[in-house]
Structure 1
Amino acid sequence: MIHLNGTVKHVKILKSSERPLVFFKLDDTNCLIASHSLNFLADVAEYTKVAIVGKYNSRKQFVVRKYTVIGKPQIVIEFERSKYPNRK
């Protein structure tokens, strides 16, 4: 398995199904994620720093097996920016 770190530049949903196929660019590397792709879409936006683990396929695309967001996930940032008050 190969470990990569970087910044997500572009996110695109290639196949919309029960398990979507998501394409993104990590710096200059083309990456695909299918497992945990819905969580990935909730956690990551453009210019988010991530660490990924996976391997390259025959088309030289990096297929992601695991990912980790460095810093706060996007869903937490959106929740903190919410205009609705916190429940007590």
Structure 2
Amino acid sequence: MEYVSLKGTINSAVKVVSFTPYLVRFELKTPEQTYNCLVAKDALNFMYLAKEAAPISIFGHFNKRKQLVVDKYHVQSGVLVR
């Protein structure tokens, strides 16, 4: 299994694909390409954090359908605490 690490922005709304188990999908836009991504681990927390056009860094691998399965992620928050 080949792992990749990418930085980009969330290019679409985060959508629930499956409820058992929870599975969400989104599009990741990088300067080179757009990827279809799936999040299974911690999917509900990801839905809470991820907003369209938010900067994101991900680490994951590709499945048989050439979708990027996200193992780890970091979403940059737009909230500033003073």
The alignment's TM-score, normalised by the length of structure 1, stands at 0.76
1:33 aligns with 2:39: yes
Q: CA deviation at 1:47?
A: 0.6
Question: Which consecutive aligned stretches of 4+ in structure 1 deviate over 3 angstroms post-superposition?
Answer: none
Q: CA deviation at 1:4?
A: 0.7
Structure (1/2) with the larger strand percentage: 2
Structure 2 runs not aligned, ≥5 long: none
The alignment's TM-score, normalised by the length of structure 2, stands at 0.81
Q: Per chain length, whose mean CA-contact separation is higher, i.e. which structure has more relative contact order (CA < 8 Å, sep 6+)?
A: 2
For this pair of structures, how many residues does the alignment match? 73
Structure whose alpha-carbon radius of gyration is higher = 1
CA–CA distance in 1 between the matches of 2:45 and 2:56? 13
Q: CA deviation at 1:9?
A: 1.2
